[in-house]
Amino acid sequence: MQTKRVFLIVLDSVGIGAEPDAHLFGDEGSNTLGAVREHINFNCPNMVSLGLFNIDGVGGGVAKPRAAHARLQESSMGKDTTIGHWEIAGVISEKPMPTYPDGLPKDMIERFETLAGVKTLCHKPYSGTEVIKDFGKEHMETGALIVYTSADSVFQIAAHEDIVPIEKLYKYCEIAREMLQGDWGVGRVIARPFEGEYPFKRTSRRHDYSLTPPKPTMLDLLKKNGFDTISIGKIYDIFAGQGISEGSRTSSNDDGMQKTMQMLDRDFNGLCFVNLVDFDMLYGHRNDVAGYALALTNFDKWLGEFMPRLNDDDLLIITADHGCDPKTPSTDHSREYVPMLMYGKNVKPVNLGTLPTFSDIAATVLDVFGVEKEGVDGTSFLPKVSL
């Protein structure tokens, strides 16, 4: 298969049903796509035509799907953004990253306060919007940082931009990231700036500080072999910049889709790796079924404009990194299968069934470009989909 450009788009949190071990994560019965597809706001004819509903376990497919399609199972021990994206890029994490359902440890907080020279508040698992409602006023009065976690492996720092200038907040996060290694090695340290009057509003200047992947990913191998590795959205942050030749952050799904559309006019040779985060951040975590359905509809509408502009030697892969079912009582990520749709002129529209790991995407992308795996996890499905 002669390919010059691969567009790999991650629809953040668009899972398609609970995995067999979902009970171990408290996620029995979760199905993010199932939760939104019956809503009146859901209208995704392009993804349905590609074969989204033809994927194992989804139901309601078309007679002749246009893309190769599969259900991918997560092999890593986790359900968070970092682990999910690392697995897509060829790194299976056998050990879960630390989480703190009972709150961040006292010695961790004390160490951070000493290194940063600042006092902190909260220290508990919290919703990002609720935590600024509950602790924002005290933060404004005292200047103490709001430090909290969630069901995921995160250490989050919230601060009002009038109290803590954004660059100073980023510096505090850098201090935390350097400190949080080893047994305290959370997947992400996240800057969560907010603004305005009570009940306050989070700004778009969020910034993630991830651990460095423990071994080379498909990004490293592509870059080493002279291919472009372009990231759009929070991909750069998730991989701590490792293996990425060019990165562009985004403020919304619309911004990410616009920047991805602009890449069609770029003469690059390699991978454009995209994350669209609003599904997860704005709708999944807030149990907003209507908003989630509309966001998928908006992506699908954009997809209808994007696909006709692909070159004959382009490939499009659409997938996800975990679930975040907006109909369950939980507002956290869910342990779910994810979809894989692969579209291009030379792609055979076959049902690949259920594949054992997200890393099969990494192995396939490397195979597309003729790059040796060199320890990257996964098995290429390229021979099964090539015309």
CA–CA dist 175, 166 (Å, integer): 14
CA–CA dist 99, 141 (Å, integer): 30
- Give the pLDDT confidence of 33-59 residue by residue, as tens digits: 999 999 999 999 999 999 999 999 999
Ramachandran area for residue 123 (φ above 0: left; ψ -120 to 50: alpha; else beta): left
- In Å, the largest CA–CA distance within the chain is 65
Give the pLDDT of residue 1: 72
CA–CA dist 68, 347 (Å, integer): 7
CA–CA dist 259, 350 (Å, integer): 30
Nearest Cα residue to 359 out of 96, 152, 85:
85
Give the pLDDT of residue 199: 92
CA–CA dist 45, 365 (Å, integer): 26
The answer to whether 92 and 106 are in contact (CB under 8 A) is no
Give the pLDDT of residue 17: 98
- Give the pLDDT confidence of 339-383 residue by residue, as tens digits: 999 999 999 999 999 999 999 999 999 999 999 999 999 999 999
Give the pLDDT of residue 96: 87
Residue ranges of domains in the chain, CATH in brackets: 5-95+211-385 (3.40.720.10), 106-210 (3.30.70.1250)
Give the pLDDT of residue 387: 87
Amino acid at 194: F
The answer to whether 295 and 282 are in contact (CB under 8 A) is yes
List residues bridging with 122 in a β-sheet.
147
For the entire predicted model, the pTM comes to 0.90
Whether the ω angle into residue 105 lies within 30 degrees of 0, i.e. cis, is no
CA–CA dist 351, 339 (Å, integer): 12
Give the pLDDT of residue 64: 97
pLDDT tens per residue, the chain (387 residues)? 789 999 999 999 999 999 999 999 999 999 999 999 999 999 999 999 999 999 999 999 999 999 999 999 999 999 989 999 999 999 999 988 999 999 999 999 999 999 999 999 999 999 888 999 999 999 999 999 999 999 889 999 999 999 999 999 999 999 999 999 999 999 999 999 999 999 999 998 898 898 999 999 999 999 999 999 999 999 999 999 999 999 999 999 999 999 999 999 999 999 999 999 999 999 999 999 999 999 999 999 999 999 999 999 999 999 999 999 999 999 889 999 999 999 999 999 999 999 999 999 999 999 999 999 999 999 999 999 998
